[in-house]
Structure 1
């Protein structure tokens, strides 16, 4: 398979690259990289990769690379429309089967909470990516901000997979950023404030997945593309990947307990109840990422790709998260 991948030095893209490179399949991989100084780190980790110098605004370059590829993994951005249009144009011009794997985000399910400013309240629904396929597609099409997702869903000639990323945790193995956002930022704020916290009632929840299990899904999709397997793409290609879920209030409690056990804060209890405004000041969009709901069931990947998460749960990684954040703050 000829693969073109964006986001090689990012958290998700780097882990996907790791899995594709080490999958045991003889892929011909090209990656887009905008910073020449990071070419060395990519090639040191993945010496057989071809680095293409450019950024997401180099649409002619992206179109040409997409046209030359069998499958494109667009993992650098969920919202950059010009690069996505270039991928669509390049892949659509091929005579051979063409595949496009696009990263999206579970915040699409948080829109009702955001509109009603209902932060920290428990989830009212659980979305199953097989049973609720039409509902997910409607959520996307009804949201004008989801322009890239709209484009992916509208493809006809190109076979597409849309991965709806939940809370992603764990340490990545890519050549650049290996740190996630939601859990590490919660640990950072806990350590800096010296106390555990939650937003509102703390009852809201997102599903979650270890970044290495997410990278494994990328390799599974590449294999399905190489085999030109049916039932995995377009209408049947919306993947709400997850390995369970957790209330944010409970995550805050686990972090506070672990930070106290490591002698980093005075109390193991959550003593600070944040407002949405405080959460947004503590982290950009903190109210969304710590106090809305996006609970999903990943039936499709398990059923159609035999994907199974293998890594520790989010709860089991809290000790590591606190240790890493404490070192970062020194």
Structure 2
């Protein structure tokens, strides 16, 4: 019998890429996708995918579909508790254990709330094997901490009936593979703030704060390995208390990104001066405004989030094979400037 896969967030940057990769890599899987809006080309592109119309608040529908799936791949709003609780409830109704791949992110590890390393390099590099106890003790204000607490509690209490993998990518670059959103978050936001500063790339302090990165295609390799292990009954992969998967392949400082962006934008006549200007923390706090996260500017532009994918390296010799972020920057930045 073909494995049954239920995918949410199938029109998002990551979720759309996940859905595309599953369908094209394993056409034998029976895939169901939750879609709020169905792209015009969806049914012609993925004729075998069963569509259920709904969103993350369609909790009864989420539970019902999760109860029928061997594996649920939940993408999209990583902080949305009702959808996660509904999916868990559905999986727990299954007569046999089910698997959940949940999209979180290394934002949970970012040091934006601590002034110590804002604009400076934090020497802490997180491991998805060695640092899980420390990650699980992070304060409640950490990004995605609310949903990860639900996952940890579920794994501890119901680990015989559900197997969980928390997919924890860093910042992502590369064109998405789906039919709707195909761009990532940071560059469009950075481009918008460059325009707001009158055509100036910028830094805070030393600008040596460092973030890990992964190409979307490399991230899909991790997803497929974990999904295939789930379909195989778990294989020798880590689940529940060991079920955390980072995916970084490289890291870059903010200043290196700002300098590279400045050079590209000046080359194309979009700014006059490529030199990064210094901005204050008060200015940073006016950037990337978000009603649910007033310090998003600190997270995006002055914090550190450094990770190593030790679990994937150990399990299947994972490493990045796509071009590096700075190699792809020109095309992606020019596209982001059009959206700014």
Mark yes or no: TM-score above 0.5.
Answer: yes
CA distance in 2, matches of 1:60, 1:76: 18
Matched, 1:67 2:40: no
Checking the alignment, whether the CA contact within 8 Å between 2:39 and 2:180 is kept in structure 1 is no
Give the alignment of 1:24-63 within 5 angstroms: 24-35=26-37, 38-63=38-63
Shift of 1:25: 4.9
Residues 1:299 and 2:304 are matched in the alignment: no
Match of 2:163 in 1: 159
SS, match of residue 15 in structure 1: helix
Structure 1 residues 222, 231: CA separation in 2 closer, same or farther (over 3 Å shift)? closer
- For structure 2, the residue ranges without an aligned partner over 5 or more in a row are 290-295
Q: Cα distance 1:133–1:278, how it changes in 2: closer, same or farther (>3 A)? A: same
Shift of 1:109: 1.5
Give deviations 1:185-225, integer Å, cap 9, x for gaps.
22343355322211332111111111222222222211111
Shift of residue 86, structure 1, vs aligned partner: 0.9
Judge conservation of contact 1:202–1:291 (CA < 8 Å) in 2: yes
TM superposition score normalised by structure 1? 0.91
2:275 to 269, 281, 297: 269
Question: Does structure 1 retain, via aligned residues, the 8 Å contact 2:117–2:209?
Answer: no
Alpha-carbon contact 1:106-1:165 (below 8 Å) kept: yes
Going from structure 1 to structure 2, the CA distance change for 1:26 and 1:140 (only over 3 Å counts) comes to farther
SS of equivalent to 1:282: coil
Contact 1:5–1:31 (8 Å) recurs in 2: yes
Identify if the C-alpha distance between structure 1 residues 142 and 180 changes in structure 2 by more than 3 Å, giving closer, same or farther: closer
Q: Is 1:237 aligned with 2:243?
A: yes
* Aligned residue among 176, 195, 201 for 2:200: 195
Secondary structure in structure 1 of the residue aligned to 2:94 = coil
Q: What is the alpha-carbon distance in structure 2 between the residues aligned to residue 308 and residue 27 of structure 1?
A: 26
1:136 aligns with 2:135: yes
Runs of 4+ in 1 over 4 A off after TM superposition: 140-145
SS of 2:73's equivalent?
A: strand
The 1:262/1:142 distance shift into structure 2, 3 A limit, reads: closer
Unaligned segments of structure 1, at least 5 residues: none
Looking at structure 2, the residues matched to 184 and 145 of structure 1 have their Cα atoms a distance apart, in angstroms, of 22
| Residue 220 (structure 1) aligned with residue 225 (structure 2) | yes
Indicate if the aligned counterparts of 2:78 and 2:144 stay in contact, CA closer than 8 A: no
Counterpart position of 2:252? 246
Q: Which residue of 2 aligns with 1:95?
A: 95
Aligned 1:112-127 pairs, distance under 5 A: 113-116=112-115, 118-127=117-126
Partners of 2:282 and 2:53 in 1: CA distance: 40
Contact 1:280 1:287 in 2 (8 A): yes
How many aligned positions are there? Answer: 325
Higher alpha-carbon deviation: 277-286 or 297-306: 277-286
Q: CA deviation at 1:277?
A: 3.2
SS of the residue corresponding to residue 22 of structure 1 reads helix
Change (3 A) 1:100 1:92: same
SS at match of 2:41: helix
How big is the alpha-carbon RMSD for the aligned residues of Structure 1 and Structure 2?
2.1
Give SS of 1:78's match: coil
Structure-1 residue corresponding to 2:4: 2
